[in-house]
Amino acid sequence: MKNEPPYPLKSVDNALLLLHSLRDQGEVSVSEAADMLGVVRSTAHRLLSMLVYRDFAVKDGVHKYRPGPSLFVSAVENRPSQVLAKILLPRMRDLCERHNESVQLSVRSGRWVRFIANVECSQFLRVGDRRGTTLPARAASAGRALLAELSDAQLANLYDVSEAPMPHPDDEYLTRGQWNALKHSLNLIRGRGFAVSLPNTEPGVRAVSVAVHNGLGEAIGAISIAAPTARMHGDVLERLAADLLDASRAAVEDLAGYREK
């Protein structure tokens, strides 16, 4: 039998109970959450809003909350991700200081990419802390940079192809047209060495990314620079990509002894 901690944090416990509810029931409204937790609606709404912010929940069009990608995307299996972040943070800080834009480090988990480290710039209008955020790999620049490291056979094992996409994001299917478009775009990324996020991946945000490799040539993550769309026009993207590629090449020596498992 479990005993409650001697100094429980009620707000944390309520958030965890909401996670259980989302996982087990599939959806919950603000009223249902308030009734379940015994709190007022405004408190339930704030708790659910924080779960949405950290990708543990998503809000649909009928005022219901459903499980978000952080609840169903698999863990980053046996990877010393914090070690990777510690190694690369100096180079990320250098990129941030040079361009005064936010810099992120991501790893891929199946068809998804997860942000694990962040260096936030000082500009008033900026991309904030994205740690823990999970996005579809085929749409996010970091995910596309890492997918470009795979062969077509590996991609085919990763994505199912059908006549129509499936509605649940964890069972992502591609139409034949989407599959061909993905392969074509990844070939372009392989040729130029960097990836740019697809339009509307994150409204108002544009990002450019490159894969980083260890001493064995294994792609173990991706470094990105992200900024409001208005600042990320063609010339800027090219300049950021060039510096990211330089940082990626220089990081190979830093990561010489790093292995994912």
Give the domain 10-72 fold.
Arc Repressor Mutant, subunit A (1.10.10)
pLDDT: which is higher, 155 or 190: 190
Q: Which two tokens stand for residue 132?
A: 């823990």
CA–CA distance, 228 with 176 (Å, rounded to integer)? 32
CB atoms within 10 A of CB 46: 14
CB atoms within 10 A of CB 77: 9
Of 254, 256, 260, 209, nearest to 232 by C-alpha is 209
Domain 81-254 CATH assignment equals 3.30.450.40: yes
| Average of per-residue pLDDT across 128-134 | 83
| Three-class DSSP category at 226 | strand
Q: Which two tokens stand for residue 147?
A: 């997918």
pLDDT at 13 over 90: no
**Strand 219-228 to 102-109 pairing:** antiparallel
55-69, 88-102, 109-123, 158-172: least confident range: 158-172
pLDDT at 170 over 50: no
pLDDT at 246 over 90: yes
pLDDT at 77 over 60: no
The pLDDT, as a whole number, for residue 179 is 84
- What pTM did the predictor assign? 0.75
pLDDT at 234 over 90: no
pLDDT band for 104, please (50, 70, 90 cuts): very high
pLDDT at 91 over 90: yes
| Average of per-residue pLDDT across 252-258 | 83
CA angle 145, 147, 150 (to 5 degrees): 120
CA torsion sign for 149, 151, 156, 158 is negative
pLDDT at 164 over 70: no
Which of the residue ranges 5-14, 95-104, 247-256 has the most confident prediction, judged by mean pLDDT?
A: 95-104
Question: What confidence tens digit (pLDDT) does each residue in 112-130 have?
Answer: 888 989 999 999 999 988 8
| Average of per-residue pLDDT across 136-153 | 92
- Kindly report the backbone phi and psi dihedral angles of residue 226, in degrees, each rounded to the nearest multiple of 5, phi listed first: -125, 145
The pLDDT, as a whole number, for residue 78 is 46
Which of the residue ranges 36-50, 88-102, 107-121, 166-180 has the most confident prediction, judged by mean pLDDT?
A: 88-102
CA distances from 247 to 114, 149, 198, 232, 242 (A): 20, 18, 23, 19, 9
CA–CA distance, 105 with 115 (Å, rounded to integer)? 6
Q: Could you tell me which residues are beta bridge partners of residue 115?
A: 106
Give one DSSP letter per residue of 150-179, joined into a string: S-HHHHHHHSEE-SS--SSGGG-EE-HHHH
Residue 117: is it exposed, middle or buried by C-beta count within 10 angstroms (0-12/13-18/19+)? buried
Question: What confidence tens digit (pLDDT) does each residue in 182-220 have?
Answer: 999 999 999 999 999 887 788 889 999 999 998 888 899
Of 146, 145, 140, 144, nearest to 205 by C-alpha is 140
CA–CA distance, 249 with 235 (Å, rounded to integer)? 22
Where are the chain's structural domains? 10-72, 81-254
Q: Which two tokens stand for residue 232?
A: 């990320």
CA–CA distance, 155 with 177 (Å, rounded to integer)? 15
